[in-house]
Structure 1
Amino acid sequence: MKSRIRLVAILLVVSLAVAFFLPTSPAPAQDKTIRWKIQTPYPLAVPYVARTAKMGDRIKAMSNGRLDIKFYPPGGIVPAYAEWDALQKGTLEGGFMTPSDVRGIFGPVGDLFNQYPMGPTGIEMVSWMLYGNGEKLLREVMDKVGFKEVVFVAPANLSVAEDEMWTNKKIEKPADFKGLKIRTFGYWGQILQGVGASVVTLPGGELYQALERGVIDACEYGTSADNEAIKLNEVTKYCYYPGVHSPGNVHYIFVNKKAWERLSPDLREIIKRESLATAMDNFAAGAVESAQAREKMRAKGTQFLPLNMEVQAFIAQKSDELWDSFAAKDPVYAKVYKDQKEFMKKYRELMGEIQPDFTKIYEALKKK
């Protein structure tokens, strides 16, 4: 009996020892890929939006597959222009957008971070955001309107100035705006109405026919590349420049705070640096596309005409009057506007001194 007990005990010890040293079956590998959804209110077919959406592929490659970002079109996850609320709630991890998209929430101050008549160029805006007080002030504004769970990451698009106006009527003095039926919107439309123009709001797809049929006398829509794409040159004679109503346009990447904090520092840096690289890519590509578009349209007979300084000064005066009225009513607007103006003054003084005026140089050469 005792020998049986000893035998059972020995067998049990041996079995346990064998079980301990045998290799165990590997546990199923966990998916370590972080998946993000970024939505934009702008159609993905628009060139700068399409270029920005490619960020997802580049970030996936740079992170060795650890971060997989998919860009969604308007309405892909939430309704267009609901991206801000979705980020606040965590429904989306990211958004490609700008505060002025939702003026009903941000009010006039939102435009100070995007574009407005006589405002910063794209490069000036990005410089102020990154190396002035822009990011800090935007944080204050977002907190004030209730977006405390939304984090600013970086610019992802900046554009060249838009064409000022496409028309069949010459604009040679401020009085020429009176009675002009012009397609525009927003605060620029408000300024034009104040000087006697008749402002009409139309989608871009309807501008060709509206100009052709005389429903409107003039329009502003976008950059030269944008305007050539919808063939405004076929139904107008003149394109006026410079784009004082929109010197530049900037859009940003915003993210949900909790989703951002869950990322490792290196993944955060990858997103930020890729956003900045995409912004420069958009600027460079947009400038080349507009230059090529102008060359094509000029060859087909479009006359590109400069707005005389009297008209530009008039626009500046009326614009400043409107911004000053906003500042008088809203201390937050006043704070942001004052800071931005001071930054631009120093920036423009520098650029005015160190940047050669190539247009004037070549004009002087022609006179010789």
Structure 2
Amino acid sequence: MPHDPYKALYLHLPFCVKRCAYCDFATAAVPADSPEIDAYVEDLCLQIRRKAKEGELSAIETVYLGGGTPSHAGLSRLSMLLYTLSLSMRLEPDVECTMEANPESLTERMVRDIWALGVNRLSIGVQSFDDEVLRILGRAHDADAARRAVEAARTRFENVSVDLICGIPGQSTESFEASVQEAAHLGVSHVSVYPLTIEPHTPFDAAVLSNELEEPDDDVEAAHMEAAARVLTEAGFARYEVASYAQPGFACRHNIAYWTGVPYLGLGRSAATMTQNAERRMRMQDGRATDDLDARQMAAEDLMLGMRMSQGVSDAQVKQAEALGLAADEAFTELSEQSLVVHENGRWRPTERGWLCGNELYGRLFDLA
């Protein structure tokens, strides 16, 4: 059965200079000069050409080079990848093209060249501007390198994002707040703030099990998220998604695609793809289906994902879900009574409490189906 055209493209570059202590992503620490990276990028270019020939890239509106650490692949490989991309699809300025980078591998020359090759949004994995916190996380850079990376990025890019992590054992609220303030003062246009989670089989997991590291404290994480909201709002950012803040006009369109049911294509190791039509939505990874949703489940998922966004979901979406037999009105009324959502101007929106109690909010809506 034909599927709706893909609007978002994700390219996975699964290599890093080292694996951080908290990371459970499908990445590997590989030397920058390894032939393994050459072979991988060459294969990724072949996949891009193949998908272009099949007509799958004709409607792409956002591209995201993620990892791993794409900047670790180096400039020559990135140039080949971006040149292949520009020959295979419309890579005009109105197509948002994001590349992730880490401070230890982002150079001024790389900034200039990837900008010239069509990247127009740079996302830098800073995580903290506190050297002690970076040491706890096992990052490969220090705070000065993070500052230099952001400053280098801003020599060409207007659209620069930084990632920060909160709720790290040993990280004070003052330290975290100072990192948020520094990001704003450096002039970035977007900040993502993620609470630390201890993932199974990571060094952090082993450290927690052996009592060498404290479990993240939910109350501390909530306090850090509230501090981020206050500092960034005062600096002119708006929170448009549970973990993301942007200056006006700089919300990440690729991320929004994920939360609004836009079909996306993933190429590369462990990249996920989501195809859909009016009757079915399927997610695939490594050639296997990971989700297969019918129309009722799609409607419930769209309500759940909509609650990640500050705009929430419209009354029309709720009515469509009701028409499919989902008790959406009843669910939102219950969530409102728990102060997890609020109804205003024809939309149901998440409250701050709803975002902090996301498991209850998202779970209640997904369970509708």
Q: Could you tell me the TM-score, scaled by structure 1's length?
A: 0.31
Tell which has more relative contact order, 1 or 2 (C-alpha 8 A, sep 6+). 1
Higher helix share: 1
TM-score of the aligned structures, taking structure 2 as reference length: 0.31
